[in-house]
């Protein structure tokens, strides 16, 4: 006979019997039901997360600093030194090719080309932003920069 809905049971040892407390002194868990004597824990349990016994909690004691700019645009920085040696002359450098070669993380959405390092190969670069240094170095090597819509 196979397993059916009316024969389903949890495996042995998976379920524990409920501890019956407050059922007389002879049970071993009578009178105070294992909560000790007086105090907050005997009367009210559990307390909410972050509760510090009534003292001013840490999220209210520590001052807030600065702000988060909700209009901030996050670019993934790509230096010329990273491109050099990875692409052949005339090849296109784009978000997809950089991702395929593992040079940028998968979650990167916007690319900014920066001018750290030198480049000797003439490549066609399609990025969302570019520094002046990177643009001048790339054009000196015979390459070109195309700015995409951010």
Domains of the chain: 76-147 (3.100.10.10)
Confidence of residue 1 (pLDDT cuts 50, 70, 90): low
CA dihedral 127, 128, 133, 137 (to 10 degrees): 20
> pTM of whole model > 0.85?
no
pLDDT of 53-99, one tens digit each? 899 999 999 999 999 999 999 999 999 999 998 999 999 999 999 99
- How far is it, in rounded angstroms, from Cα 71 to Cα 142? 36
Which of these, 12, 11, 29, lies nearest to 20 by C-alpha position? Answer: 29
Q: What is the pLDDT of residue 45?
A: 77
Q: What is the pLDDT of residue 133?
A: 95
Separation in Å, CA 101 to CA 76, 82, 126, 148: 15, 11, 15, 20
- Is 116 within 8 Å of 137 (Cβ atoms)? no
């Amino acid at each position: 006979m196979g397993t059916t809905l009316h024969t389903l049971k949890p495996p042995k040892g998976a379920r524990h019997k409920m501890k019956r407390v407050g059922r007389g002194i002879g049970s071993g868990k009578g009178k105070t039901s294992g909560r000790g004597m007086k105090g907050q824990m005997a009367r009210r349990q559990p307390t909410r997360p972050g509760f510090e016994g009534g003292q001013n909690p840490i999220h209210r004691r520590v001052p807030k600093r600065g702000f988060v700019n909700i209009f901030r645009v996050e670019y993934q920085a790509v230096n010329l030194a990273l491109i050099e040696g990875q692409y052949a002359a005339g090849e296109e450098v784009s978000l997809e090719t950089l991702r395929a070669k593992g040079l940028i993380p998968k979650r990167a959405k916007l690319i900014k080309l920066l001018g750290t390092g030198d480049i000797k190969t003439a490549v066609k670069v399609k990025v969302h932003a570019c520094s002046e240094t990177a643009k001048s170095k790339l054009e000196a090597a015979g390459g070109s920069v195309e700015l995409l819509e951010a």
